[in-house]
Structure 1
Amino acid sequence: MNLQSMIDTASALVADDKGLLAMDESNPTCNKRFAKLGIPQTEEARRAYRDMIVSTPGLIDSISGAILFDETVHQQTKNGTPFIKALTDAGIIAGIKVDASTTDFAAHPGEKITEGLDDLRERLAHYVEMGLRFAKWRAVITIGEAIPSRACIEANAHGLARYAALCQEAGLVPIVEPEVLMDGGHTLQRCAEVTEETLQTVFDQLHRQGVRLEGMLLKPNMVLPGLACATQVTVDQVADATLQCLLRTVPAAVPGIAFLSGGQSAELASARLNAMQVRWHSRLPWALTFSFSRAIQQPA
C-alpha cells in the first residue's frame, strides 16, 4: 500500500471543480440504450461510442476521472490507442468498475446484494498493471414495506469495506458507492433515515476492515423523496437534507464526496449539487463533486 499515492489520486479526482464521468455501463445496459436509438448492439458499436466520449474536445476542462467497464479497458480508439492511455494522455485519471452487479439477497425478498469479491484481489492486480488508479463498487439499498432490513444494510456495508480494503492493498483508490434507490413512494424524511443508517454502517465497516479514509472517496445518493411520493420538494430542501445527513455520518478524513445522479435528470441533479455548494460550501470538511453517468451522457 502506498498511502500517499492514493491520497494524491483521491485529492486530484475532486480538485479544481472537476468531477467524474461514469462510463462504466455494463454491456446489457449499453445495448438497451442503443436499442432505443436503433444503434446496433455490437462490441464495435460500443467501442465507437466510448471513443466518441473519450475523444471529446475539452473533456479535461470539467472531468478529472473516468470510470470504465472491463470491456472498455481492453479496447482502443479508432487510431489504435488504448482508452486508458488516451485518457491518461489527456490528463484524465482512469478507473474501473469492479463489482459483478447485484443479485437477490437470499431470504430477504425485494433486497439485493452485490457480488464480485471472490477473485477481486487478482483482478485488481491486473488493473494496476494496466495503469488504472482507482476503482468503484456499487451496493444498492431499496426502500419499501419493511425494508431495508438490517441484514441487507450490514451485508452490503461489509462487502463495500472488503472491496475497499483490497483496493488499498493493491494501491488503488476505492470509490465506495452505497446507493439508496429513489424508486418507490417514500418521503424525503424516510430517505434521510435510511441513508443515515446506511452510511453509519458503511463507515463502521470501513473502520473495522482497516480502510484509510484519506485514500478513498464516497459516492452516495442525494437525499430525495421517492419518485412515486406525492410530496416532492424544492432543490434547496434536497440540498439541506443531503448535507445534514452527510455531516452526521461522513468523517472529515474523507477527502471528497462525488454524488451519483441515480436517475435524476441532468438539470435537477446539477441544480441540487449547485445548491449544496452555494448554501453549505463554507461549512463542509470535504470537497463535493459529481460522478454522473446518464445525467451527462443522455443530453449529449
Structure 2
Amino acid sequence: MDKQILKDTIKQVFSNGKGILAMDESNPTCNKRFAANGIPETEEMRRKYRQLIVSTPGLNESIGGAILSDETIRQKTDDGQPMADLLTHAGIIPGIKVDMSTTSLSGFPNEKITEGLDGLRERLAEYKKVGARFAKWRAVITIGNDIPTRACIKANVNALTMYATLCQEADIVPIVEPEILMDGNHSMQRCYEVTEEVLKTLFYHLYEFKVDFEGMILKPNMVIAGKESEERNSVDAVAQATANCLLASVPATVPAIAFLSGGQSPQKACEHLNAINKNFKDQLPWIVAFSFARAIQQPCLDAWKGRDSNIEFAQKLLYHRAKLSTVARLGTYNSKMEDLR
C-alpha cells in the first residue's frame, strides 16, 4: 500500500469544493429508471446515457470523481474513446463500483448482505489498468421491527472491511458505504441510534484489520426520519443530528465524508448538505462533501427521455445540479439558486 497515492487521490477528488458523482447504477436499477421515462432498456441506451453524462461541458467544475459500473468502464463513446479516459482528460478521476449487489441474509428475514468479495483482488487489478483510482462498496441496513440485528450489522461491516483492505493493497481508495435506508416509518432518533451503532462497529473492525483511515472515504447516510414517518424535521434539525452522530462515531483522521442522497429530492439533499457545512464547518474535522446519484442525475434523465434532441438541455440540468451540490458543500446554497436561467 502506497499511502501517498491514496492521499493524493482523495485530495484531487475533493479539490476546489468538488464532490463525487455516482453514476454506477446496476443494469436492473438503470433499466427501471429508463422504463419510467419510456426509454428502451438496452445496453446501447445505457451507453448513450452515460456518454451524455461524461461529455457534459463544465462538469469538472463541480465533480472531482465519478463512480462507474463494470459495464460503463468498459464502454466507449461514439468516437471510440473509453468513458474512463474521457473523464480523466477532463480532470475527473474515474472510480468503480465493485460490489455485486445485495441478497437476502440467510436466517435473518428482511435483512440484506452485499456480495462480491470472491475474486475482488483480481478485479481491482483489472480496474486499475483501465484507470480506476477509487472504488465503492455499498452495504444496506434496514430499520424495522427488531431489525437491524447485530448479526446483520457485523456481517455487512465484515464485508466492508475486507473490501477496504483489498482496495488499499491495490493503491485504490475505498469508498466505504454503510447505508441506513430511509425506507420505513422510523423516527430521526431511531435513525441516529442505528447509524451510530453501525459506524462505531465499522470503524472498530476497520482498525482491527489495519485499514488506513487517512486513505479512505466514508459515504454515509444523513440522519433522517423514515419516508413513511409522520415526523417532519427541519433542515437544521437534520443537520444537527447528522453532525452529532458523525462526531460521536467517525475518527478525525478520516479525510473526507461524502454523503449519499438516499432517495432525498435533489433540493432537499442540497439543503441538508448546506446546513451541515454552514452550521458546523468549524466543528467538523473532515471534508464534508457529496457522492450523489439521483440527486444530481434525475432531472437530467427526466429531460433526456432517450432523445438526441434533448441532450443539450439535459446536460444543462446535470451541470446545474452538480454546481448546486458544490455550492451546498461550501455552505453557500439557497433555494433561489434552484431556478435555472
Provide TM-score, normalisation by structure 1: 0.99
Q: Say which SS state the counterpart of residue 298 (structure 1) adopts.
A: helix
Structure 1 counterpart of 2:107: 107
RMSD of aligned residue pairs (Cα, Å): 0.6
In 1, distance between residues paired with 2:251 and 2:290?
19
Structure 2 counterpart of 1:250: 250
Q: Quick one: which amino acid aligns to residue 153 of structure 2?
A: I
Q: Quick one: which amino acid aligns to residue 295 of structure 2?
A: A
Percent identical pairs in the alignment equals 61
Q: Quick one: which amino acid aligns to residue 44 of structure 1?
A: E
In 1, distance between residues paired with 2:68 and 2:224?
27
Give the CA deviation at 1:14. Answer: 2.2
Pairing of 1:276-291 with structure 2 (within 5 A)? 276-291=276-291
Structure 1 counterpart of 2:128: 128
Asked if the contact 1:192–1:223 (Cα under 8 Å) also holds between the matched residues in 2, the reply is yes
Give the CA deviation at 1:129. Answer: 1.1
In 1, distance between residues paired with 2:62 and 2:14?
11
Pairing of 1:260-275 with structure 2 (within 5 A)? 260-275=260-275
Structure 2 counterpart of 1:224: 224
Q: Say which SS state the counterpart of residue 64 (structure 2) adopts.
A: strand
Could you list the per-position Cα deviations for residues 233-270 of structure 1 after superposition, in whole angstroms to 9, with x for gaps in the alignment?
A: 00000000001000011101110000000000000000
**Unmatched 5+ stretches in structure 1:** none
Structure 2 counterpart of 1:81: 81
Structure 1 counterpart of 2:329: none
Could you list the per-position Cα deviations for residues 179-218 of structure 1 after superposition, in whole angstroms to 9, with x for gaps in the alignment?
A: 0000001001000000000000010111111100100000
Structure 2 counterpart of 1:116: 116
Q: Quick one: which amino acid aligns to residue 163 of structure 1?
A: Y
Structure 1 counterpart of 2:168: 168
Give the CA deviation at 1:16. Answer: 1.4
Q: Quick one: which amino acid aligns to residue 198 of structure 2?
A: T
* In the alignment, structure 1 residue 206 sits paired with structure 2 residue 198: no
Give the CA deviation at 1:10. Answer: 1.4
Q: Say which SS state the counterpart of residue 99 (structure 1) adopts.
A: coil
Could you list the per-position Cα deviations for residues 114-147 of structure 1 after superposition, in whole angstroms to 9, with x for gaps in the alignment?
A: 0000110110011111111000000010000000
Could you list the per-position Cα deviations for residues 15-46 of structure 1 after superposition, in whole angstroms to 9, with x for gaps in the alignment?
A: 21111000000111111111111111111111
Asked if the contact 1:14–1:288 (Cα under 8 Å) also holds between the matched residues in 2, the reply is no
Structure 2 counterpart of 1:15: 15
**Unmatched 5+ stretches in structure 2:** 301-341
Provide TM-score, normalisation by structure 2: 0.87
Q: Say which SS state the counterpart of residue 88 (structure 1) adopts.
A: helix
Could you list the per-position Cα deviations for residues 95-114 of structure 1 after superposition, in whole angstroms to 9, with x for gaps in the alignment?
A: 00000000001110010000
Q: Quick one: which amino acid aligns to residue 183 of structure 2?
A: D
Give the CA deviation at 1:283. Answer: 1.0
Q: Quick one: which amino acid aligns to residue 274 of structure 1?
A: N
Could you list the per-position Cα deviations for residues 134-181 of structure 1 after superposition, in whole angstroms to 9, with x for gaps in the alignment?
A: 000000100000000001001101110000000000110000000000
Structure 1 counterpart of 2:26: 26
Asked if the contact 1:101–1:116 (Cα under 8 Å) also holds between the matched residues in 2, the reply is yes
In 2, distance between residues paired with 1:44 and 1:263?
26
In 2, distance between residues paired with 1:58 and 1:131?
21
Q: Say which SS state the counterpart of residue 16 (structure 2) adopts.
A: coil
Asked if the contact 1:214–1:253 (Cα under 8 Å) also holds between the matched residues in 2, the reply is yes
* In the alignment, structure 1 residue 55 sits paired with structure 2 residue 46: no
Could you list the per-position Cα deviations for residues 275-300 of structure 1 after superposition, in whole angstroms to 9, with x for gaps in the alignment?
A: 00100001111001110000101112
Q: Quick one: which amino acid aligns to residue 88 of structure 2?
A: T
Q: Quick one: which amino acid aligns to residue 128 of structure 2?
A: V
Structure 2 counterpart of 1:196: 196
Q: Quick one: which amino acid aligns to residue 262 of structure 1?
A: G
Structure 1 counterpart of 2:293: 293
Give the CA deviation at 1:11. Answer: 2.1
Runs of 4 or more off by more than 6 Å in structure 1? none
In 2, distance between residues paired with 1:58 and 1:39?
26
Structure 1 counterpart of 2:319: none
Structure 1 counterpart of 2:259: 259
Pairing of 1:33-72 with structure 2 (within 5 A)? 33-72=33-72
